[in-house]
Amino acid sequence: MQSHFTEQDTERYYDTEEANYRLFWDKEGSVHWGYFTDATGGDFLAASAYLNELMLAKSGIDKSSLVLDIGCGNGNTAIWIAENRPCKITGIDLSGVRAGNAAEAAAKLDSELSARLRFEKASATALPFEDGSFSHVWSQATIYHVPDKEAVLDEAYRVLAKGGTFIFDDLTKPKPQVSEQAQKYVYDRLLYDTPFSFTGYQDSLKAHGFEVVEAEDLSSHLKTSYEKLREMAGDATARGLGDFTGLVTAYEHMAAAITEGDLGWALYVCKK
Ligand SMILES: C[S@@+](CC[C@H](N)C(=O)[O-])C[C@H]1O[C@@H](n2cnc3c(N)ncnc32)[C@H](O)[C@@H]1O
């Protein structure tokens, strides 16, 4: 089943909701979920930062790497990678507002760092790059939004050099038919649908030519993320930063959908 939402719906959503997310999710502008460990405890932003560290360690990105971040948002992760590895990174995002914020943030960095970063508005389904341009394709919390996920996998494969690494996290749909509640409060709210379960995703990656090196089901971390985000949206409402009561309810539904097996989250590391 394919999403009935368009890329234009998603672009409009992220262009207009940008400021709101900063009020309760991460004031620095990052919008992805967290991987909780003993070290992060229940701190959502520490868990969100830990996901970056985990993925960077698994990616093998080093000083000779040419990295593409698909759905880079405000550029937070790409900038963090460039600060931690002397590689070159290009970030693309469908939202012109977010790609513009990323470019502005990069321009304020020291010249050596900013010279290794590039951001532009583009869609994951039509990447404006030559075949084999990158040693690494990276993506966080993005592909679920794209109605044509097969096109994203085709494009990721095309722009990767032979032997390159595709590392990404994405939402999964553990069963084909989800409850009405999950449809309304999870899939429709996120402008999202997917044909991929945790294992179905791997089958599709293989069909696209990738070797799946590692796959980890992160659903329990997604549930903890939404429990924490519910608290954060509630706190922001109580502090008068905005009315996030709708999101408090939505995030309760997100956590419930994961418990009911209507929603999942996974990390994949693949080789071309
Ligand atoms: C949840 S945010 C994640 C942003 C960023 N990766 C992060 O971790 O902060 C999802 C991002 O995907 C972008 N996006 C959605 N559909 C896209 C597409 N077809 N091509 C490129 N970016 C897309 C959105 O504009 C948004 O910035």
* Domain span holding position 127: 7-177+191-219+262-271
Per the structure block, which two tokens stand in for 221? 């971390």
Answer whether 142 contacts ligand 1 (Cβ < 6 A). Answer: yes
Would the pLDDT of 182 be above 50?
A: yes
Q: How far apart are CA 33 and CA 180, in angstroms?
A: 24
Beta bridge partners of 216: 267
> Which residue has the CA at smallest separation from atom 25 of ligand 1?
95
Cα(81)–Cα(61) distance, rounded to whole angstroms?
Answer: 9
Could you tell me if the CB of 75 is within 6 A of ligand 1? no
Does 244 fall in a domain?
Answer: no
Residue 135 lies in a domain: yes
Residue having the nearest C-alpha atom to atom 2 of ligand 1: 31
Q: What are phi and psi of 139, to 5 degrees?
A: -155, 140
Residue in 233, 253, 129 with CA at minimum distance from that of residue 190: 253
Residue 79 has pLDDT above 80, yes or no: yes
Read off φ and ψ for residue 130, nearest 5 degrees: -65, 160
For the chain, state the CA radius of gyration: 18
Q: Would you state the pLDDT for residue 213?
A: 98
Domain contains 226: no
**Mean pLDDT value of segment 145-168:** 96
Secondary structure (DSSP) of 113-168? HHTTEEEEE--TTS--S-TT-EEEEEESS-GGG-S-HHHHHHHHHHHEEEEEEEEE
DSSP one-letter code for 272? -
H/E stretch holding 66: strand 66-70
The CB of 76 under 6 Å from ligand 1? The reply is yes
Query: In this structure, is residue 43 part of a structural domain?
Result: yes
Q: For the chain, what percentages of helix, strand and coil (3-state, to nearest 5) are there?
A: 45, 20, 35
Is the pLDDT confidence value at 3 over 70?
Answer: no
Task: Kindly give, in sequence order, each residue whose CB lies less than 8 Å from that of residue 65, ignoring residues fewer than 6 positions away.
Answer: 85, 87, 88, 135, 136
- From CA 229, how far away is CA 175, in angstroms rounded? 25
Is the entire prediction scored with pTM above 0.85? yes
Residue 224: pLDDT over 90: yes
Please enumerate in sequence order all residues whose Cβ is within 8 A of that of 186, keeping only pairs 6 or more positions apart, or say none. 178, 192, 253, 254, 257, 262, 263
Total structural domains in the chain? 1
The verdict on residue 136 lying in a domain is: yes
Answer yes or no: is the C-beta of 52 below 6 A from any ligand 1 atom: no
Q: Flag whether 232 is in a domain.
A: no
Asked whether the predicted pLDDT for residue 2 surpasses 60, the reply is no
pLDDT by residue (tens digit) across 15-38?
777 777 777 778 887 788 999 999
Backbone angles phi, psi at 38, to 5 degrees: -60, -40
31 lines ligand 1 (CB under 6 A): yes
The alpha carbon of 140 and the centre of ligand 1 are apart by a number of angstroms equal to 8
DSSP assigned state of 85: S
Higher pLDDT pick, 25 / 200 = 200
CB of 141 shorter than 6 A to ligand 1: yes
Question: What is the average pLDDT across 197-204?
Answer: 97
Q: What percent of the chain has pLDDT above 90?
A: 78
Q: How confident is the model at residue 4 (pLDDT cuts 50, 70, 90)?
A: low
Average pLDDT score over the chain: 93
pLDDT at 155 over 60: yes
Residue 1 binned pLDDT confidence (cut-offs 50, 70, 90): very low
Count how many Cα atoms sit within 13 Å of the Cα of residue 258 in the half-sphere of its side chain. Answer: 20
For residue 63, what is the domain's CATH number? 3.40.50.150
**214 - beta bridge partners?**
269
Q: Decide if 186 is inside a domain.
A: no
Residue with tokens 């080789």: 271
Beta bridge partners of 92: 70, 120
In a domain, residue 62? The reply is yes
Quick: pLDDT tens for 65-77: 999 999 999 999 9
Cβ proximity of 73 and 98 under 8 Å: yes
Give pLDDT tens digits for 237-268.
Answer: 998 988 989 889 989 999 999 999 999 999 99
Using a pLDDT cut of 70, give the percent of the chain over it: 99
